[in-house]
Structure formats: C-alpha cells, structure tokens
Amino acid sequence: HLDHATDRALVEEAVELGLGSVMFDASALPDEENVALTAEVAALCQGRGLWVEAELGEVGGKDGVHAPGARTRPHEAVDYVARTGVDALAVAVGSSHAMTTRDAVLDLELIAALRAAVPVPLVLHGSSGVPDETLRAAVRHGMKKINISTHLNKTFTRAIRDRLAADEKVVDSRKYVGAGRTAVATEVTRLLGVLAG
C-alpha cells in the first residue's frame, strides 16, 4: 500500500512495482483539480487492478497543521466518489494526523451519515489520536479502514528508549530494535481486538 501519495509519477511507479493499493491524496488542491487528478489516478490504478483510496475534506495534522473544525459533508462525499470512481474514501470527522495524545473527539453522527450516503468504504486517518472506546464507536458507526501510525511509532520508540536506558552499554542495534518490534506487535494485536470489539 502506498499511503498519501501526492505525485502521479510516484503512483505510476507503485503500479509498475506491483503494489496492491494506493491512497492518492489531492485534498490540498482546489476541488476541481482534486477531482480531475484523482479520477485520472483512479482510472490508471484500477485499470491495472489496484484499489484506490482518496481523501475529501482535508484531515488535519499534515505538515503540523491541525484543523479541528474540518468536516466532510455527506452530499460532497457522494458527488466526489461518483466523479472520481475511488474504491474508498478518507473523510474528515474530527481526527488529525500525527497526534501524540489520544484525546480526539470524533463526530459519530457525521460518520453514520457519511456511511449511509457514501457507496464505498470509509477510512479514518489520524486514528492515533483517538481513544480506544471512540475507535470502537467509529467502527460501529461505519468506519471500515482505520489508519494508525503515530501511536505505533511512539510505542516503538518508547520500547527502544527503555531498552537502551536499562543497559547503557548496549550498542548493537540487533539487541535493542527487537524490543521495539515486539512492543509494536503487542500493541497491534491489542488494537485489532479493540477494533473487532
């Protein structure tokens, strides 16, 4: 999966390399450019068997900019999916990329309204900032794909820091990177249980 690609050339490279899915992100462009470019990328990718996700209503947190009031409107989402032909849609419902705290407040009623209106799976980006109970509620209200990165990066980094602090003489990365890998595997397993519950 190629996530948050903004360059068509990079998407073309992903197609040639045989990736199975692409998240093409033209959400920072003016609406008509977003639609036109995303439709081109969707046609290119789907013609080669790739699944395409896009974003509408720019989810906050990109480049350090958080926009807590950004929201995707259901009628705009329906129109966007129809005009672009994407297979899944990332929507702005209160989450924000790169959050290091887990206190985001999602608009669950909006998620349900989007799910009722939009004919493709909904994707929640910025899920690292969403508490467990709210993640469960988001899934119940219609989210189908949940992206979690920053939270797992923090888990990995914390485990490595703890391992290095426990033995200041360790310098062989094979002896401390494993702690991060194990911590991430444990947390992913836990999160899968959260999302399934």
Tell me the sheet residues that pair with 22.
2, 52
Strands across the sheet with 21-24, in order?
Answer: 2-5, 21-24, 51-56, 88-91, 122-124, 143-146
Which active-site residues does the annotation give? Answer: 3
Buried b / exposed e along 53-68 (16+ C-beta atoms within 10 A): bbbbbbbbbbeeebee
- Say whether 164 sits in a helix, a strand or coil: helix
Tell me the sheet residues that pair with 91.
56
d(CA 40, CA 64): 29
| Torsion angle in degrees (nearest 10) through CA of 119, 125, 130, 132 | 60
